[in-house]
Amino acid sequence: MCEADTVAVARSFARSLQPGDWVGLIGPLGAGKSVFARAVGETLGVREPMPSPTYTLMNVLEGDIPVYHVDLYRLSSADELEFAGIAPYFRSSGVCLVEWADRIRDQWPATGWLVTIRIADNTERRISIAQLPSGP
């Protein structure tokens, strides 16, 4: 799908989210994880810009419910998640959007969503959305 479709899918997905939901975003550099996350945030009522949390690891945004935008690209170890104080947000009542969630697979919550984006070409992406826990 093209970028406008990515945004449209993210918006309709966002409308199904509940407070406390956790969303892992998986895909290579430039896949569109941030594009997807921003569209979700906007739909959840975030009015401010959503700058990349690559260096801060996490940005807290105020929407209709709190939105925690996490980017684990620079995370060097899963322990850092605890040190950086991010882990508790995985169990909060806001919506948690976690780019590079595949880096902390053993710390995924019991329930949540996984959005996987594959790059087909410059402008085309394949997006799959799965619910955690994935079946047996």
Ligand X SMILES: Nc1ncnc2c1ncn2[C@@H]1O[C@H](COP(=O)(O)OP(=O)(O)OP(=O)(O)O)[C@@H](O)[C@H]1O
Under the binding rule (CB under 5 A), the answer on residue 59 touching Mg ion is no
Give the contact letters, 27-66, x = binds to ligand X (CB under 6 A), - = no: x-xxxxxxx-------------------------------
Under the binding rule (CB under 5 A), the answer on residue 6 touching Mg ion is no
- At 122, phi and psi to the nearest 5? -45, -40
d(CA 42, CA 36): 10
Can you tell me which residue has the tokens 């984006």? Answer: 117
Binding segment (CB under 6 A) for ligand X, from list 2-10, 12-20, 41-49, 106-114: 2-10
Q: Please, where are the H alpha helices in the chain?
A: 3-14, 33-43, 79-83
Residues found near Mg ion in the complex (CB under 5 A): 33-34, 99
